[in-house]
Structure 1
């Protein structure tokens, strides 16, 4: 690359580096989106806070911004549930029948001892029998404690109750005990065991109740001796104790469980917490404090959570745009600013519908033209970006249009926003006429209404028939409003941001455009050439994924500058002498290269978009005018003078192609002119010529400033070959056609 080319390229690059390509500006725009999301969602997700003091009167009515737990009412309900829990008793298998048997065995052994007098035996029984009863209980308690079967509190309760309910044997019973023989005691054992076992087999809380049944059982027993019956009766009463005891631990646990199972009492969203003019008591103050509605005790966690949500939405959008082109951002800052403005308009339309909403009329939210954002992004930027933005609009709609209590998101409005946005994208992504936008609006109406009807049927506890009809009607009206707004806003965005949408391109391709009429009437040869270049460049651009429609329309205007001096261009020199034959080559060079600059000026005058002007300015790049350079050299040699010019003086001023579209139009322009110059082109000639043109431009570094790859250049060359053969089919001589005349001459 020469120094002049390098300086030219640098000068153009310096022009393009401004706020539109500034990285800090780009991140400022994304920060703006974060703030936009935060402001949009704050009023719905963050409650208003009040500066209130105890003992003052409230200046306004304070309602619950969301479903709030009522701690006082919940605590009261928990205590009521705990009080409803009855004391819990545990049954302990004491095996009291073993005690009465052991007592009878002790009496038998002592009665058989003749060394002990009757009076001493009575004294021993008076002291030992109650003690044995106490020791029996204590031994059971100690064994159970060692085994870890029961809690200490329960075992202590057993000792306490048995001591309180201890039975005292009458004095006369102790006197009768020494009279019993071994035979008597042998008969008494099974009877006493049966009675105690039978009565303690039931649950006993109060031992006296069970003891009252002993006399009846003894009287119906097999014992016939009066003394034996009396002793069995008293010993059985002594052995019977309570076996069902109050379990404090289980009772407390049950009451704790009852408190935990008690449902939280809530103050519903919209319920009045403090009426206007009401005195602020300590109870009301604590309620507002617990609800986070006081300014003196700010809870920053909701703000942090909302800010993180907004950052997530904006960061996701940033990453999506970055990944759409791994090497660099696909969009410049002007387009990102337009994207931010689309978000502002869409969110604003949601808020207008939200203001009209109420708890009684939530269906008005379907009037919001939520699909407007996705449709504008599709038309002005990119279809894949529109899908991602549609998801964000769905999240925003589910919050902004939500009127339900205790919910952050309303699924119905979020789903509705996704449906209408996706329908709008699919309907208009290939729009080439304004009427297509109206058709897209009709489709949004139909599918939006269908989505509302479907959700109403699924929600069995939803609206009545009249509300459903209202909802469907508002959804239909919202679709029409969407179409109207999109049609109205499209020209604003196209003019303000210089966006060249497909709709605008189709309008510019209309032959009735003043510049195209001028081209057709004043330079018909150039007009025909431009149409041919448009056909060739569109096919080549679409083959490599570039904007084919932009190439076609740009080709129509790329040589508009030739209308200034039409006779100096060969395609317009029908039946006339070439004026270049009689003028200096340097002047010819100036006239030829001026058409690019003149074309840009004319397009500016008619306010054509910049991408169209760029094609006109860049389609020749800095290519070399070989013919006039060598003509000037020959004239200098004939005059015997040293040339006072260089090759650089016979180059177009540029800039070089900055986009794939400009490069493709430049190649197609050269190919069409070259093929047109051939009287009877052959397939081999066309293939060779196209390869030569592309290689010449490649060697001349004309593609250094655009992102065309070698693979794409190869695809462009093959596509142009196919297109040229299709356009000039009748003029091209194929190998078979050439061989036939040759063979006929030889035979003759």
Structure 2
């Protein structure tokens, strides 16, 4: 019995050697490190080879990657320029020939007059009753106009004077339309008359709305195109005009600039390059191989450094991939900059990579990647080691001055440091290369150098401040500075919250205070929680008056709404908040807080109202979409939000007491609870409903959170004591 081909292959020893990855003797993590190294190697090789044009050459409509001059003097007949001039000659408006038929508007007016006369006779026909007149008007012999029943009734309802006015208006309207275009109406004129002029002219008459519509319909129906393009004669004129254009001769001098870097490539450029033999050629195999080997050496060097001195980074594939990707993107931007800029590119902000890497990872990694990028850029610029030294020195000063980057001034100081470093080093190199020093030459050079250094420093400050959050997010990190910036009241969403929903804003601040204190008690991320608390209710700014935070003593608008509608409005603040947060590009961690701060909880008040009003109520219509909290921080925010709102409501209604008397027979305020009881009941309810099932909170941590909540709220509300009733002695 024969084995199937696939089965036979699976039994062969070589198949196991090729199919199973064990022959590589690599773990999963080592394989990811290898892939990250391959990404960097490929990126460096690509940017190095991209310096020269590829096999496809220049592309029409795209910027030229380099400047090209003519190698020799050439004179040739330009087919491109000749075709352009012939096209221009053919498109001259004088070549258009039109045919006018003056009989059409005259015949149409005669037909219009006949139709109006027919309508007039039918109005006064003594042989027809009203129904017969309606039928006759609805079936007029004219193919141009078909009146409906309402229009026929309108005509019959007019007295003789009104009909005469309508008839005269229609004829005058037709005459005015024809005269406006001098009895020569083309498609464009007809469209303008029907869409604009007829209704404009009728608006100045004394007719009512129905009569104007009838007059416009009848007039418009008889307007016809009588001016058309004579295609045959027009084509003959165009062909004659093109034939009269002589071929264009072009002379290109040796050394003449054919195209500059960054200039948009046109067919004329391509024709010149082909005629002069200056069209870029593809890379040779030796160049490709040399750049590939250099890229491999640099990749091996940075990978070895990270493996020996930064082993923790090597165990985090997401962070490692983000680092390699950042290097490749920076080098690609440098490559594009060098292609479109012919001068010394000291303005390129390589320090952005250094500072961002330092903030997101470490300063040691920042130094390493800066050195790597500086070497690659110097190779792109023709092995210019002085350029590499300048760029690496600027990165070094930026890294040393940025430090922890916990304030905006750190980025400003780094930018000034970059500017100063580039200026000093470039001045040093320039002076060392000058055989004769002249003040005029130095002043002109230093002005350009300082401007380039200022551009580098400014770009470093701006781009670093804007990009380190992006890189941190890609690496799976949220930086403290990003959270601090988001917490500032000048943020657009927070300003909108303060301005349009001030009650919700103060509620969010109070929730932030509670959540931050609870996070510090259990060792959670307090800053993240405070920022999340500020943004968790931004969806309420869509309909602020529908939330009790912002009603401020006014009547509750929900009293007049159906419970289903009210519940959806309340629930939608979560969905709207997510949309607003994504539109504002808030971090995903903050958006997750917005989505989970109510979990899948029930809008209980309106659910109860619905049960009282309707026989069948689906509980799912009154639940938040979720999901439930997934982290400790999200769970704390849910509890802080519920506790703050509930305690404030109880305090406002006088149902919050400091403590209970031991004698239960004594009088107490109906529904009054102590702060401790209220907080405990809220936490118990969330646990009982399963809202905290997915959050890694322990019962001990819940107890600590409750204690923090009670202590903080106790100092805010100062609830009154439920005094015992006075005893009257007899």
Q: TM-score, normalised by structure 1?
A: 0.44
Choose 1 or 2 for highest CA Rg. 1
